[in-house]
A and B are shown apart, each in its own frame.
Chain A
Amino acid sequence: MSTLVLVLLTGIGLGALYFLVASGLSLIYGLMHVLNFAHGAFLTFGAFIGWEVARRLDSTSWWAFAVSILVGGLVGAGVAALTELALIRPLYERHIEQVLVTVGLAFAAVALYEGIWGSDPIYISAPAWMKETTSVLGASVPNTYWVLMLAATALLISLVVFLRYTRFGTIIRAGVENRAMVTALGIDVRTAFLLVFAIGGSAAGVGGVLAAHYTGYVSAHLGSTLLIFAFIVTVIGGLGSLPGAAIASVLVAVLQQFANYYMGGTGDIIVVVALAGVLLVRPSGLLGRRFA
């Protein structure tokens, strides 16, 4: 019983991490039809900068942890906004080229990180509580998972509030529904594009700092691995659907953890099989509409 609870809870925690990455991807794709390969690079950048900040402060204290998360989110948003302005904006409506540019950026960024921080993983320290476990129904769940769940829940709630109750949120939702109509009404969607990129980047930056605490180290390839799972999650959830991404994140991660525990570490393969299954039955994903 306690194993079951442990696997389930760690699955949900991992799903929370996936959601931090996938939410931005899904929003960006939904509004702009851009597949952002550089999302992993934003995440890694947030992780590195967050680590640099935390180690200059007292990395075992809570406030250093809080500052590193804040900084991670800010630099993630900054880099993403810069990317949108410099690389994506000149190529509007040319979707394949936009993908290619983000691929090139991801390629160059990983090489640059390796040049600056080396190619070996750097182990990080955290507040003492993060390294401990909490007992739930007999299962000792590492505390990092709670932080991940908290962060993902906070992100989901703030995104829903933002999309539902603000003017920009309304524009973004309308843009996902029908971009041509929004443009025809005289609304400048470019600001919304920039905003979506910045939001996605900041979620990725925060996700990067937390992913570093989850794995225990930062490395130049931290983002690339997570990005592939985030892709799978967004396709299973339905591209452009935020609730879809949330549900699929948890489903995929829990499935992965169960397969890893009970089926001898086959989690990664099971996830891809699940993706194939979902595509065969429902090509638009769980909550997605028709594919463009």
Chain B
Amino acid sequence: MNAARAAARRLPLAAIGGVALVVLMACLPLLNISIPGVLPTPTYQPGALALLSLAMIFAALALTYNMLLGTSGMLSFGHALYFGAGAYGLGIALENLGVPLFPGVFIALVGGLIIALVTGVVAMRVSGIPFAMVTLAFAQAGSVLVRRNSAVTGGEEGLSLNTEGVPDWLVGVADTRNLYWATLLVLVIVYLVALWVDRSRLGHLARATRENELRVRVLGLEPNRARLIVFVIAAVCASLVGVAYMLLQSGTVPRAVSADLTITVLVIVVLGGVGFRWGAIVGGVIYTLLDQRLTVLANSDVIESLPSVLRIPLSEPLFILGTLFILVVMFLPGGIAGTVDSRLRRWRAGRAGADQVDGSAVERLEDADAEPAREEARS
């Protein structure tokens, strides 16, 4: 009861903040804001908009991955397969079937759904670490298929978007802001789906399965079906993000289906904080900006002048990211969101303690607040 009331009290504030943020993001292309060192150009120019769109793509993809790892506790190493299915699905539909954009998007999503169902059913035969290995194998098979069948997928060269079926307002550098808005829309859709999954009975069941599968079975519920449904929802959302990526980049490369991409998303989710929706978004944005900045740093004169012991590691952005990732896993287990969240709770509890000398009230409040946190942070 207490927990529910506490959640209801906080909800409007979070919702208002979220809506305000979306409105602000939507207005960015119309404003002239320069953030030197973070964005390459003022916000109304294509350079900054393209970077921000890419950040939103990664944020949305991280959100879909968080449904697997955060909500259901499934460690998948094959999530890129569904992202790639969306990107390549749209590209192939436009190129070979000659359909307009929206039917093409529909075909891509249905393709992602079918692949997710087939691979999901097989992979669900095992759980935990073996599940991770099996999903990795499936993604690898997808990656090999893409690289081999160069007649359809363009092989190593990648597949560029056939713009015949795409409306004019989504093509070209001058229309980057339309693409930006489209990407923002995809991010909002994915967020709302993630929110719905987390709040629904399905999400509760998936979380319960993550904590104690045996107990869910004993209660007469079906953990595997819940997990499969969450898996498929996350995969279809990832396909949608892949579609947005295809439009944004007007093409895709085999890296979109590689294990590298899955690992990148995993890094984002863990950096942001597993189990926190806003953590996934923050992680995606930070990762994209960091990746871009580190590449600039790697080619800078400061690095060039260092002795080779320092120069070689520092000139490899992935090395720095990998090291950062290890440090976060070892010393900051909740990621960014988890750490902020627990600080905030402690601060709130401390303030309540100062107001009321009566210790029992503090305890009750702490209990009510800590419960959802514990539930979300453990995975």
Contact = CB atoms under 8 A, between A and B. Distances in A.
A179 to B, nearest CB: 15
B319 interface: yes
B325 A104 contact: yes
A70 to B, nearest CB: 27
A268 B144 CA distance: 7
A57 interface: no
Most buried by A among B123, B125, B263, B266: B125
A101 B141 contact: no
Interface residues of A, number: 43
Interface in A223-243: 224, 228, 231-232, 234-235, 239
Interface in A112-166: 112, 114-116
A22 to B, nearest CB: 11
B140 A234 contact: no
Interface in B245-303: 259, 263, 266-267, 270
Contacts of A268: 140-141, 144
Contacts of B323: 104, 108
Nearest to B331: A90
A108 B314 CA distance: 11
B134 A235 contact: yes
B75 interface: yes
B20 interface: no
Contact of B322 (A96, A104, A224): A104
B128 A291 contact: yes
B325 A100 contact: yes
Interface in B126-181: 126-130, 132-134, 136-138, 140-141, 144-145, 148
A239 B132 CA distance: 13
Contacts of B132: 35, 99
Interface residues of B, number: 41
Interface stretch (A10-18, A200-208, A276-284): A276-284
Contacts of A292: 128
B140 A101 contact: no
Q: Is the interface of A mostly helix, strand, loop or mixed?
A: helix
Contact of B318 (A100, A107, A239, A269): A107
A103 interface: yes
Contacts of B315: 115
Q: Is the interface of B mostly helix, strand, loop or mixed?
A: helix
Given A104-B322, A228-B137, A231-B136, A279 B129 contact: no
Contacts of A228: 136-137, 140, 259
Interface string B353-379: 000000000000000000000000001
A62 B219 CA distance: 65
A280 B122 contact: yes
A27 interface: no
A111 interface: yes
Contacts of A116: 312
B27 interface: no
B126 A279 contact: yes
Given A100-B270, A103-B263, A107-B267, A115 B319 contact: yes
A239 B130 CA distance: 8
B2 to A, nearest CB: 30
Contacts of A33: 129
Most buried by B among A95, A96, A97, A112: A96
A224 B318 CA distance: 15
Given A115-B313, A235-B133, A104 B138 contact: no
A116 to B, nearest CB: 6
Nearest to B133: A231
Given A105-B322, A107-B267, A275-B137, A115 B312 contact: yes
Contacts, number: 118
B130 A235 contact: yes
A108 B313 CA distance: 9
A192 B244 CA distance: 49
B321 interface: yes
B326 interface: yes
Contact of B316 (A35, A99, A114, A272): A114
Nearest to B326: A104
A87 B379 CA distance: 19
Given A101-B330, A228-B140, A279 B122 contact: yes
A87 B326 contact: yes
A279 B75 contact: no
B312 to A, nearest CB: 4
A292 B259 CA distance: 25
Contact of A95 (B122, B126, B129, B325): B129
B40 interface: no
A142 to B, nearest CB: 24
A29 interface: yes
Contact of B326 (A108, A275, A283): A108
Given A108-B322, A269-B144, A87 B330 contact: yes
Contacts of A114: 316
Interface string A231-267: 1101100010000000000000000000000000100
A145 to B, nearest CB: 23
B133 A111 contact: no
A272 B133 CA distance: 11
21 contacts: A29-B129, A100-B270, A101-B330, A104-B322, A105-B322, A107-B322, A108-B326, A111-B318, A112-B312, A115-B319, A228-B140, A231-B133, A231-B136, A235-B126, A272-B141, A276-B122, A276-B138, A279-B125, A279-B126, A280-B125, A292-B128
Given A107-B263, A239-B129, A291-B126, 7 more contacts: A97-B330, A106-B322, A116-B312, A231-B136, A239-B130, A272-B138, A276-B122
Interface of A: 29, 33, 35, 87, 90-91, 95-97, 99-101, 103-112, 114-116, 224, 228, 231-232, 234-235, 239, 265, 268-269, 272, 275-276, 279-280, 283, 291-292
